[in-house]
Amino acid sequence: MRYLDVDTGTVKISKIGLGTWQFGAREWGYSQQYAEQDSQLIVARAIELGVTLFDTAEIYGFGRSERILGRAISGHRDAVFLATKILPVLPVAPVVEQRAVASASRLGVTRLDLYQVHQPNPAVRDGTIMRGMRSLQRVGLVTEVGVSNYSLSRWQAAEAALGGPVLSNQVRFSLVAPGPGRDLVPFAERSGRVVIAYSPLGQGLLSGGYHRSNRPANRVRALNPLFLPDNLERAEELIGVLRQVAAAHSATPAQIALAWVIRSPAVVAIPGASSLAQLESNVAAADIELADDEWRALSDAAQRFSPVGGPSVLPRLLRARLAR
């Protein structure tokens, strides 16, 4: 495993982490056995392999993900950089404080290494929420503050409101969502901040395992326009480039997709895993180094990928869902 060169004062952050939305969230459609047993084995193996960054949120499975993760890390607290998120529905300081305590209690810990605002509140600026974050830091319940789904300007405004570093911005970042590479990643690189890449495998699309006649069935991906038949077809060229680079490294397309996203020293990725084998494969991607020409070929293919999107896809998503 490789780690970020950022001093957090607690545990160093692994370049590949584990996203745990999948734990106990019905929309992923995984089994009861996955929620109860596989999740425990996946976390234990991740820790064994040097993964430190574990990401969850109060909203995932309405607290179930936090509980499942908390059970899995008990006894390993010192080996874990624990990140969770608050949904800023009522972003006032006392609510923020109370929600942090509730998350910590579900996780069974007395310290959240990273407490992230899950998404920008469109109606309320960050002054009040950051007041809550500041007092959580002061009492030691929260070590680092982060945000998620923030633009660069809002990330910087959040820092001004906190009066200190907002360590990370967790955003959708992958070969099918390369946007953060333009502004967030350069900012993170020059200011000692971190971009946490979520959906780094495009929710599994970049594994190359899905196509027009083999589409994933669960609710998360039924509602993701990337998995519309047209878009799966449009992604074939990108998957082809991934396969070529993968062959040169005796790796899988998913591993190359992760290696591409974490190439910057300021980026870590938090892929979810539906099995132990996926977790192991994702962890191994931390050690793959892409040559400059490989990185460029992948980046160019990512730019050429233009999925159909916007409001016009809504009827298609509905039709695709009803056709199942």
Ligand X SMILES: NC(=O)c1ccc[n+]([C@@H]2O[C@H](COP(=O)([O-])OP(=O)(O)OC[C@H]3O[C@@H](n4cnc5c(N)ncnc54)[C@H](OP(=O)(O)O)[C@@H]3O)[C@@H](O)[C@H]2O)c1
Give the shortest CB-262-to-ligand X separation in angstroms: 13
Are 242 and 252 contacting, i.e. CB atoms less than 8 angstroms apart? Answer: no
> Tokens representing 11?
């545990």
How many residues of this chain interact with ligand X, rule: CB under 6 A?
28
Give the shortest CB-252-to-ligand X separation in angstroms: 6
Among the listed residues 60, 115, 198, 210, the single catalytic one is: 60
Question: Is 8 in a helix, a strand, or coil?
Answer: coil
Footprint (CB under 6 A) of ligand X, residues 279-298: 281-282
Residue 148 found at the interface with ligand X (CB under 6 A): yes
Name the pairing type of β-strands 53-55 and 81-86.
Answer: parallel
Q: x/- binding map, residues 22-61, to ligand X, per CB under 6 A?
A: x--------------------------------x------
- Please tell me the total number of residues recorded for the chain in this structure: 324
Closest CA to 83 of 105, 119, 58: 58
The residue from 168, 169, 199, 231 that contacts ligand X (CB under 6 A) is: 199
Distances (CA, A) of 152 to 11, 146, 170, 210: 26, 13, 12, 33
Q: Which is nearer to ligand X, 7 or 51 (CB)?
A: 51
Give the shortest CB-120-to-ligand X separation in angstroms: 11
Are 209 and 257 contacting, i.e. CB atoms less than 8 angstroms apart? Answer: no
Name the residue with tokens 């998404």.
Answer: 119
Q: x/- binding map, residues 151-190, to ligand X, per CB under 6 A?
A: -------------------x--------------------
Residue 3: active-site member? no
Residue 149 found at the interface with ligand X (CB under 6 A): yes
Are 175 and 302 contacting, i.e. CB atoms less than 8 angstroms apart? Answer: yes
For the annotated catalytic residues, the residue numbers are 60
